[in-house]
Amino acid sequence: LIASTTLTSFASVAMAADVPSPNQYYWPKGMNLAKLRAHDSESDPYGADYYTSYHKKFEQLNLQEVRKDIEKVMLTSQPWWPADYGNYGPFFIRMAWHNAGTYRAIDGRGGEEGAQQRFAQLNDWPDNASLDKAKRLLWPVKKKYGEKLSWGDLIVLTGDVALNQMGFKTLGFVGGRPDDWQSELIYWGPGTTFFPNKSSFQVGQNGTLKHPLAATHMGLIYVNPEGPNGDPDPVKSAAMIRLAFGRMAMNDEETVALIAGGHTFGKAHGAHPNSCLSGPPVANGVEHQGLGWADHCIKGTQTADDASTSGLEGSWSADPIHFTTQYIDNLLNNDWVLGTSPTGAHQWHTKTDDKIAPDPANPNDPSKMRPIMMFTTDIALKTDPVYHKILARWAEHPNEFADAFARAWFKLVVRDMGPKSRYFGSEVPKETFVWQDPINMPAKPINQADVRELRKLIAATGLSDRELIKTAWAAASSHRVTDHRGGANGGRLALMPQNGWAVNDPEELKAVLPKLEQVRDKFNAHSVRKVALADVIVLGGSVGIEDAAQKAGVKIQVPFAPGRGDATQEQTDVNSFNLLEPTADAFRNYYRADADNTPPLNAMVDKADTLGLTIPEMTVLLGGLRTLDINSGHSANGVLTKTPGVLTQDFFTNVLTMDTRWQKVAGQEDLYEGFDRATGQKLWTATDVDLVFGANPELRAAAEVYASDDAKAKFYNDFVKAWTKVMNLDRFDLQR
C-alpha cells in the first residue's frame, strides 16, 4: 500500500525550509486523504452555512447598480496596469474565460464556481499571467458588495458587462456561485514542469490525453497558441483544439464560436521577453502583495505598450473594443504568413502587413497604427475543413455567428453550475437547454401521508432490502458535487445510458425498476398528488435500510424528503450522461481496470470527493454498505459479516481484528484472502478498498471508532446521516 521511502523522492519535491512536510514528500505513493478534509466548512470565514445561504444574500443585490460599478472600473485606466485603448473589457473577458475554461466534462472539476483562479496553482499558471491584475482592478467592487457577491459571480458578471459594453448582446447573467476558500486539490496532470517547458505537454504520440485531463499542457487552460508544443502546424493545432475543447464539453460549432467571438476583442501582449519578468505571484516576495510577473524592463512611466503576458503581440481586429465580424473576415480574407512576435514567438501576419489596428497606448494617433496578427490556433480554424465551413457560413450570416457565440458563452460560464434550479438572479434566461439536464417536477407534490402509503406499497413489492438499497445507491451516487450533475432526481437510473452501466448490474435493475414503477403508477392512478419514480427509488432505500437495521434488533428512521421529479429520454443527452459513468465505486466494491483508471485507492478517495464526503462519512458509509451486501456483481469481497444484508458494525470489527491473517491472491492485482489465524480456515475475500481501513493509519483511526463496543448508536446514527446526505446531494431546494 505505502511505497517504501526512496532517496529520489526527496530530490523530486522541493520543499521550503522550516515548514512541516506532508507525508507525500517522503512517500510520494502514500495515500492522500486531504481532498476529503476540504469538505469540512471550518475554514470558511462566513461560517458553516455560507455554501447554502449565499444565494439569499446574492438575491439582495441590485444587479444594475453592480453593472454600473463594474463598467466604471472597466473604463478607468489605472497607472499600475494601464488599460489598452482605455478599456479593460477584453482583459476582463479573458479573465472570465480562463476561470470557466478549466471545466472538465469528464470529472466535472474546474469551472467558474469557487473562483479557484484566485488561488495557487491556477493563479500562478503561465496561462493566467497578468490576470492577477484583472482581479485587483475589481477589488473595489468586491469590497463594496462583500458577502452578497462572490468572486465567482463577480468574474462572470464582469465578463458579461464587458461584452455588453463593447456592443455584444449576451443571453443573460446567472448568479449563485459560492466561493471556495482554499486551493482545491485537483489532478491537473502528471508533470511537475509548467508550460512552456516541452515536458509539460500531456498529449501522447497518438493524440491521446489521459482521463480526466482536458488541457494539452500543464499550466495552460487548453492549448498552446503557437501550435502543439510550439510546432506552428495549423493542422495539428486543430486536432489539439478539438481535443481540449471537446473535454470542456464544447462541440465544433461552440468551439469556433468561442474562439472567433473571444478574439474579436483585445490583443496579445509581448512587449518584452520573458527574461524581463519575475515569477508568478506565488514565487514573488511579500512586497509584491500577491502580484506576479513584475516587469523589470519597463523604463519610466508604464504605458499600455509595455505589457508582456503571452509573448505574442498584436490584435486580431482593427477595432478591438467593439463586437464585429472582423476576426472572421480578417482570418478568411487574408493570406497569412508565419512569422514571429517581437519576443520570438510563432505568430502569423498578413502578406502586406497593413497598419490598420490602433496602438493600445495611443489609440487615436494614426501615426502609431499597427498590423493585425493571428495565432497558429486561429489559422487552425481556417485550415481545418469542418471549422472552416462553420466560419464561412458565419461570414455570410453574421447574425448566426452572434447567436452561436451568445449560446456558447452562456454554456461556458454556467456549465459547471449544474441544473437550472441552481441559477439565481433577475437575469436568468428563460430558455432551457438539454445540457442543463432538465427535470419535470410534478405539479402537485406528495405529502407525508402519501409517503406512509408509498412505504407500504414498496414493502409489498417483495423486493429485498438489498435490491432496494442498491437501487437507491445506484441512483443517488451518480451525483457529483464537482458540477452538480447526476443524482437520483430526474429518475434517470431508468433511462439510457444509466440503466446500462455495468456498475449498476443492468440485468438486476431490469427486474427491480418495473416493480418500483408499478408503485409509482399504482399511487398516481388514485391520487391528485403525483409521485416521481425518483422519489420511489430513494424512499425504497429508506425502507430497505430501516428493515436491515431492524434485523439487527435496532430501530432506526431514515429521513426521507419527497420532492423529486422525473426526466424523459429526450431530455437526457446520452453522450453527456455517459461521462458520469463510474469506472470505480468503492462503496459497491467496483473497479474497472481500464488503462486510464487511477489505482483503486485513489479512485475511492476520488469517488468520496465527488460525493462531497468527509473521511468519517466515507468510512461509515463504506463499512455499513458492505454489511448490507450491495456490491456490484453481487461480489462477496469485503462483505466481512456472517449476516450479509443486516446492518451491523461487523465490517469494522472484522477488518481490524488480529485474528485474521490476510494474504494476496497469487496472480490477482487487487484481491486478498483472510484466514483464521488459529484454524487456518478461509474466512473472507477482500480488495484494496476494504483492507485499507485496517492498513492506512488515518482510515484505521476512523474505523476504530465504528468498531468500538460503545459506538453502536453512533454507528447507526452516522450511517443514516451519511446515507441521507448522499440521497439529498441533488436536492438544491433543501439546501437553501
Which stretches of the chain bind ligand HEM, using CB under 6 A? 84, 90-91, 93-94, 97, 222-223, 225, 241, 258-259, 261-263, 265-269, 309-310, 312, 375, 377
Clarify whether 98 is annotated catalytic.
Answer: yes
Task: Compare residues 261 and 540 and give the one whose CB is closer to ligand HEM.
Answer: 261
d(CA 21, CA 179): 27
Q: With respect to ligand HEM, which residue has the nearer C-beta, 269 or 349?
A: 269
∠ CA 31-37-97, nearest 5°, is: 100
- CB closer to ligand HEM out of 265 and 672: 265
Cα angle 701, 49, 541; round to 5 = 60
The phi-psi region of residue 207 (left if phi > 0; otherwise alpha if psi is between -120 and 50; otherwise beta) is left
Please state the closest distance from residue 186 (CB atom) to ligand HEM, in A. Answer: 21
Query: What letter does residue 122 receive in the DSSP assignment?
Result: G
Residue 241 CB, shortest distance to ligand HEM, in Å, is: 5
Q: Output the CA–CA distances (angstroms, integers) from residue 628 to 53, 339, 542, in the order listed.
A: 35, 66, 13
Element (H, E) at 717: helix 712-727
> Cα torsion at 70, 74, 78, 81 (round to 10°)?
110
| Residue 353 in grid coordinates | 502587413
Query: Minimum CB separation from ligand HEM for residue 351, in Å?
Result: 23
Residues 103/221, Cβ–Cβ less than 8 Å: no
Per 3-state DSSP, what percentage of the chain is helix, strand, and coil (rounded to 5)? 45, 10, 45
**CA 430 – CA 172 distance, rounded (Å):** 9
For residues 727 and 715, give the distance between their C-alpha atoms in angstroms, rounded to a whole number. 18
Cβ proximity to ligand HEM: between 307 and 513 the closer is 307
Tell me whether residue 263 or residue 466 sits nearer to ligand HEM (CB atom).
263
Looking at beta carbons only, is 317 or 728 nearer to ligand HEM? 317
Min dist. Cβ of residue 72 to ligand HEM (A) = 19
The answer to whether the beta carbons of residues 486 and 479 sit under 8 Å apart is yes
Q: Residue written as cell 410534478?
A: 442
Least distance between ligand HEM and beta carbon 308 (Å): 8
Among residues 262 and 490, whose Cβ is nearest to ligand HEM? 262
Alpha carbon distance 534, 437 (integer Å): 15
> Least distance in Å: CB of 198 to ligand HEM?
17
Look at residue 340 and give its three-state secondary structure.
strand
What is the DSSP annotation of 15-52? Answer: --TTSPPPHHHH-TTS---HHHHTT-GGG-TT-TTHHH
Least distance (Å) from ligand HEM to the CB of residue 224?
7
Side-chain-side CA neighbours of 400 within 13 Å: the count stands at 11
Q: At what angle do helices 376-383 and 326-333 cross, to 10 degrees?
A: 70
Amino acid identity, position 133: K
**Element of type H or E holding 275:** none
Calpha distance 650→560 (Å, rounded): 26
Minimum CB separation of residue 262 from ligand HEM in Å reads: 2
Query: SS3 for 643?
Result: coil
H/E stretch holding 698: helix 697-707
Does residue 232 have a cis peptide bond before it, meaning omega lies within 30 degrees of 0? no
Cβ(614)–Cβ(607) below 8 Å: no
Evaluate whether 51 touches 41 at the Cβ level (below 8 Å): yes
Closest CA to 106 of 489, 475, 434, 416: 416
Please tell me which residue in 55, 98, 263, 346 is annotated as part of the active site.
98
Contacts of 404 (CB under 8 A, 6+ apart): 253, 254, 256, 257, 394
Closest to ligand HEM by CB, 345 or 625: 345
Dihedral, CA of residue 526, residue 531, residue 532 and residue 537, to nearest 10: -110
Nearer to ligand HEM by Cβ, of 94 and 470: the residue is 94
Q: CB nearer to ligand HEM: give 339 or 506.
A: 339
Nearest approach in angstroms of CB 195 to ligand HEM is 11
Backbone angles phi, psi at 685, to 5 degrees: -120, 155
Closest CA to 477 of 645, 635, 652, 622: 622
Rounded to a whole number of angstroms, the minimum distance from the CB of residue 258 to ligand HEM is 4
Query: Least distance from C-beta 171 to ligand HEM, angstroms?
Result: 14
Alpha-carbon span 527 to 487, nearest angstrom: 26
For residues 239 and 552, which CB has a smaller minimum distance to ligand HEM in the complex?
239
Mind telling me the catalytic residues? 98
